[in-house]
Structure 1
Amino acid sequence: MPRAHPLVIGHRGAPGYRPEHSRSSYDLALAMGVDAVEPDVVVSRDGVLVVRHENEISGTTDVADRPEFADRRTTKTIDGAELTGWFTEDFTWAELATLRCRERLPKIRPSSASFDDEQSVLRLRDVLDLVRDASQEHGREIGVVLEIKHATYFSGIGWDLAELVESELTAAGWANGEHPLVIESFESTVLARVRERGIRGSYVYLLEAAGRPYDLVAALGSAAPTYRATAAPAGLDALIGVVDGISVDKRMILAPDKLGRVTGPSSVVADAHARGLRAFTWTCRPENAFLVAQNRTRGGAAAFGDYEREWGVIRDAGVDGVFVDHADLGVEFFRR
């Protein structure tokens, strides 16, 4: 049964106001009343689950300005894409802990960037402890939506993310349903491996608006299904009993035409619900840079556009959860 109001999930905390995945970003999201927060996890050289959007960290930390790490700059192929920079798997946790968080989008979010270089990088354990303590402090149940990043890539260099996630959740007291937990990934194979280990929670398959999941590309090549095919009715049929829900790029709900005019809501949320699957969407942001053309206003990329019009289509689709960067705006709108 669809919720009366969707879960409001602080996407990497509250990165509309503070550098993503920083302590203050999470603190702010929790204080603003979100139902859950979403940490992304990658791996350090010594097997620590580190909270970063990507394993390449030059855009979200001060690593490029640290002369002691200059020789760590390298080029790698991650999920089929060549990237040059600094990667978490080339640093021990002790080294990563010396780095400081930076705003990933400073031109769009200069206010957030004013907090650059003040806060250290976090581990998954830090976020789990923070959310548990905040639940007690605020007197309400707050969850974690844990996104596992690049599982196939990390497997190729010797790290089993399912094993690492199980170990960390168990040690932190989050493995047996003690707290609300969602585990999500763009790779369905790692979700299956975590589920097989008995971790209690909801399992959600992330779907891009285009492309194919890298784990299936690695296994099947051009025969791998597209994300769009997976979101179609026949694709959703195949997910019944495999995952508990999907989380789709908001464009799959908005269904903009070639001129950027919304034609949705599409049927993807209703189709998921008809099969007993939950449906989340990402990411609800107010800035013009992230809105479809129809909802942009004057003032440039950083100005807030007509985001309520866009969010209204998403709300009316009946989603079960929304990822937001501005936690206060998300809580106010989606609980209205």
Structure 2
Amino acid sequence: MYVRSAAAATAAFLGFALTVCGAGSASAAPGPDWLSNPIVYAHRGASAYAPENTLEAIDLAMMMGFDWVENDVQRTKDGTLVVIHDETLARTTDVEQVFPDRKPWRVKDFTAVEIAQLDAGSWFGQEFTGARVPTLREYMRRVQRNQQRLLLEIKRPEIYAGIEQQTLDVLGETGWLEENRVARRLVIQSFSAASVRTVHELRPDLSTAFLGTPALADLPQYAEFTDRINPAHTTINSDWVSAVHGLTGPHGKALEVATWTVDDAATARKVQDMGVDGIITDKPDVVREAVGGY
């Protein structure tokens, strides 16, 4: 059983965070060579302990000592980018109560003002009542305030035409396309190879990741436009990871592998033994303790 309260979770992990003395801080050098253990990515924030994709979830990840967070980006009816995973608002907000006649409550059918009215926290726990679905601008400002790094996922690009350029526009307006952040603190990923390729073509300096497990024979094609292949942990073995590492990406470095979603110690150690570079998890504390990652 895990602690839902942000305050309780913070107290539980503060001692450990102090012992690492900022080893995972944003000032550390980037890239797979700066740590011998996998990097731990807080999936949708510390989402086992706070409502996913909220500011509260990334704040908690920061307080627990994790500077890499992952999020999901979609677009509202009136063109605002918001941070939410599902195509509909029903699972993680009170939209059914606030707008009962708007079924199936798809993100793309609501304006940003309407979504801002929704409670995105009480479904998870009463202590999070009042949490909101953040806009991407709000989210990026908070990530910057927390001195965190971001693995940003573009969701369902096939239903949001032009979302790649729009995402880059917001990142630019919030200062996230400056050289230091591009090099050290930002990766853009998607399940859509076409979307990842588009991001690479628009901003070749950015690091990108493809979500999925391409066949070995197809991996060289991905190495033309992506720096990382991020597969589900159930779909890989050490030979596949080695094959990915054997390819050079568009920035002249070996491709990396960050696997998802690993929430228990045994699986974390299993994928560590496979040689993955990163582990994406709802329970970053559990994974960190198991593998010694940051």
5 Å-filtered alignment, 1:1-20, equals 3-20=35-52
Q: TM-score scaled to structure 1, two decimals?
A: 0.71
Q: What per-residue deviation string (whole Å, max 9, x for no partner) do you get for residues 64-111 of structure 1?
A: 111xx22321xxxxxxxxxxx2011111111111111147xx7xxxxx
- Separation (CA, whole Å) in 2 of partners of 1:331 and 1:177: 29
Q: 1:88 is matched by which residue type in structure 2?
A: V
Which residue of the other structure, out of 87, 93, 97, is the alignment partner of 2:112?
Answer: 93
* Superposed CA offset, 1:94-139 (max 9, x none): 1111111147xx7xxxxx434453211111112211111111xxxx
After superposition, what is the alpha-carbon deviation per residue over 1:159-217, rounded to whole angstroms, capped at 9, x for unaligned? Answer: x101211110100111233321000000011112122222642110000xxxxxxxxxx
Count of paired positions: 252
Post-superposition shift, 1:252?
1.4
Which residue of the other structure, out of 281, 284, 287, is the alignment partner of 1:327?
A: 284
Alpha-carbon separation, structure 2, partners of 1:319 and 1:46: 40
What are the superposed Cα offsets for residues 264-304 of structure 1, whole Å, 9 maximum, x if unpaired? x442211100112111100111xxxxxxxxxxxxxxxxxxx
CA contact (8 A) 2:44 2:71 kept: yes
2:260 partner SS = strand
Cα distance in 2, alignment partners of residues 118 and 102 from structure 1: 6
Structure 1 Cα separation of the partners of residues 276 and 188 of structure 2: 18
Query: Which position in structure 1 is the counterpart of 2:175?
Result: 173
| Alignment partner, residue 267 of structure 1 | 239
1:39 to 65, 71, 77: 71
The answer (yes or no) to whether the contact 1:175–1:199 under 8 Å persists in 2 is no
Q: What CA distance in whole angstroms lies between the structure 2 residues aligned with 1:102 and 1:251?
A: 30
Residue of 188, 199, 202 corresponding to 1:183: 188
Partner of 2:234: 251
Whole-Å Cα distance in 1 between the matches of residues 84 and 229 of structure 2?
Answer: 22
RMSD: 1.8
In structure 2, relative to structure 1, the CA distance for the partners of 1:34 and 1:328 (3 Å cut) is same
Which position in structure 1 is the counterpart of 2:225?
242
Tell me by how many angstroms 1:247 deviates.
0.2
Q: Distance in 1 between matches of 2:116 and 2:276?
A: 37
User: Is 1:197 aligned to 2:202, yes or no?
Assistant: yes
Identify unmatched segments of 5+ residues in structure 1.
Answer: 74-84, 107-111, 136-141, 208-226, 254-264, 286-306
Mapped pair 1:129 → 2:141: yes
Is the CA contact 1:39–1:124 (under 8 Å) kept in the aligned structure 2? Answer: no
Do 1:252 and 1:266's aligned partners in 2 also have CA atoms closer than 8 Å? no
Structure 1 residues 246 and 281, CA gap change in structure 2 (3 angstroms): same
What is the rounded CA distance, in whole Å, between the counterparts of 2:100 and 2:192 in structure 1? Answer: 32
- Is 1:151 the counterpart of 2:181? The answer is no
> What percentage of residue pairs aligned between the two structures are identical?
32
